[in-house]
Structure 1
């Protein structure tokens, strides 16, 4: 006899029952959406409904699989499981394209991506990978994109070197903003302007822009030395130092360029050209220059004496 049956109450009205328990009361009726599942359950109980073959095996497999997945989730191993399965089904990353890198080596990029031989493209976190790549010294911006089924594309925008900054014994490559990129290691960075002084980076862009108005003069400057956070000394390739004033340095630069063009001042036997005092130019001679000047003065005195004697 069916477990789900119709029974009659004392008044003779029929009502639905399951396992002898009434499913409708005077004030309660089983919701319509539950009636069909309850009838199916009753049929299973009386053997009127036959489950499909191997349903018990399938249900057991589903139970074991769901238990394993849930256990992996609780233990933090679910990502690794997904990675392993998808990698072995044709989604393992086996090609990496790196574009935009000139100073950043591909080996460093690969290391930042954190790949191994079985990294799956499906479970790979491009956001975290982008952050790791962006932390490389020369990288200013990075983008990491998946190209299915098995390729990663990395686009890099690198920082632009502006100058070398010497602070004590430390020498670094810096950006225009003054931010240190990497320690100096030679190569083509040797062609960058050399700034000397811990406070030289901030005013350097504007000052170097003024110097660049005179390309021939700029090409002869070996170092830009910041003095006391107030003014600049220019060290030339031939060892001459030009001491610029604190104020109106643009006019001082124009004056020294004009004197060099008209009189070849910077080619003489001098050590320094001091322009710190307004409207006055002080030149310090080299030892050889001092001797040559003394000799010239003596010759001039002799010449004056001979002329005086000739008049007598």
Structure 2
């Protein structure tokens, strides 16, 4: 609950105050139709003053649901000032402005006469970190950017997606990886490639190239290969799953040279045994 400072209910309030209030209400309605912001603001101030004298000054604001957004930001965005009156606060316009805030997914603004305002908000939750053009932002499930990244403990364990279009497809890759926790836990970041497919960058430096379609199946196959063959622990640099009928791997330079040396040694040994 937020109590707005000042003396909220005027003492007295005779017939002339009520007349001024109703007159201001009518004038406000006319000027809102004209859409003249300066005139509307001026008329609202006059209306607020008259309504306040008549006992309709907002004295209490009940806020609920806010966590990342401060009460001051909510009140300012909703247009609630120390001089605001209940009749001249446009609840629907206030709701729309609140829902334009990055953190707020949904808002409800209710007026309870003579002097109480209730504002309920549902905030977006940080779903992933999105890196693009060297900047990292916290994004919601629907891809909305809600805040620059910080070392807040709530964010450090969020999955990381990278590149153009990654924010719009974040649910696709996060939910697919959740089905294979053994693979997911090795992923450092998921990189969106040409806004068509994903490449996983693992913590040990291996790149896993995923197909445009059949994402779940490809990851399930990868999980099986890793479980049975310890594929992701081998001395390789790339696992290519883009073709449905095969898995291709690229050895590291050191592993490749060692394999070539081994093949030459075997060939030499075989040749010697045949002489």
TM-score under structure 1 normalisation? 0.63
Does 2:191 align with 1:225? yes
- Corresponding residue of 2:227: 261
Q: Measure, in 1, the Cα distance between the counterparts of 2:268 and 2:227.
A: 31
Is the CA contact (8 Å cut-off) linking 1:129 and 1:144 kept in structure 2?
Answer: yes
- Corresponding residue of 1:285: 251
The size of the alignment, in residue pairs, is 242
Which protein shows a greater Rg?
Answer: 1
Higher relative contact order (CA 8 A, sep 6+): 2
- Cα root mean square deviation, aligned: 3.7
Is the CA contact (8 Å cut-off) linking 1:231 and 1:245 kept in structure 2?
Answer: yes
Helix, strand or coil at the partner of 1:191: coil
Q: Measure, in 1, the Cα distance between the counterparts of 2:195 and 2:98.
A: 36
- Corresponding residue of 1:49: none
Q: What is the aligned counterpart of 1:110 among 75, 78, 84? A: 75
1:95: Cα distance to partner? 2.7
Q: Measure, in 2, the Cα distance between the counterparts of 1:272 and 1:129.
A: 52
Structure 2: tracts of 5 or more residues without a match = 1-14, 32-38
- Corresponding residue of 1:184: 148
Distance 1:84 1:277, change over 3 A: closer
Helix, strand or coil at the partner of 2:183: helix
Is the CA contact (8 Å cut-off) linking 2:176 and 2:215 kept in structure 1?
Answer: no
Is the CA contact (8 Å cut-off) linking 2:129 and 2:149 kept in structure 1?
Answer: no
1:266: Cα distance to partner? 0.8
- Corresponding residue of 1:84: 49
Distance 1:251 1:143, change over 3 A: closer
Q: Measure, in 1, the Cα distance between the counterparts of 2:221 and 2:95.
A: 51
Distance 1:91 1:245, change over 3 A: closer
Q: Measure, in 2, the Cα distance between the counterparts of 1:106 and 1:140.
A: 16
Helix, strand or coil at the partner of 1:258: helix
Is the CA contact (8 Å cut-off) linking 1:88 and 1:118 kept in structure 2?
Answer: no
Instruction: Detail structure 1 runs of 4+ shifted over 6 Å in the superposition.
Output: none
Matches within 5 A, 1:230-241: 230-241=196-207
Distance 1:234 1:147, change over 3 A: same
Is the CA contact (8 Å cut-off) linking 2:110 and 2:117 kept in structure 1?
Answer: yes
Matches within 5 A, 1:46-85: 73=27, 79-85=44-50
Q: What is the aligned counterpart of 1:95 among 57, 60, 65? A: 60
Distance 1:267 1:251, change over 3 A: same
Is the CA contact (8 Å cut-off) linking 1:222 and 1:235 kept in structure 2?
Answer: yes
1:275: Cα distance to partner? 2.8
1:143: Cα distance to partner? 1.4
1:288: Cα distance to partner? 4.5
Q: Measure, in 1, the Cα distance between the counterparts of 2:212 and 2:95.
A: 46
- Corresponding residue of 2:85: 120
Is the CA contact (8 Å cut-off) linking 1:145 and 1:152 kept in structure 2?
Answer: yes
Q: What is the aligned counterpart of 2:106 among 122, 125, 141? A: 141
Q: Measure, in 2, the Cα distance between the counterparts of 1:219 and 1:161.
A: 19
- Corresponding residue of 1:209: 175
Q: Measure, in 1, the Cα distance between the counterparts of 2:246 and 2:142.
A: 35
Q: Measure, in 2, the Cα distance between the counterparts of 1:299 and 1:288.
A: 15
Q: Measure, in 2, the Cα distance between the counterparts of 1:95 and 1:248.
A: 55
1:257: Cα distance to partner? 0.9
- Corresponding residue of 2:117: 152
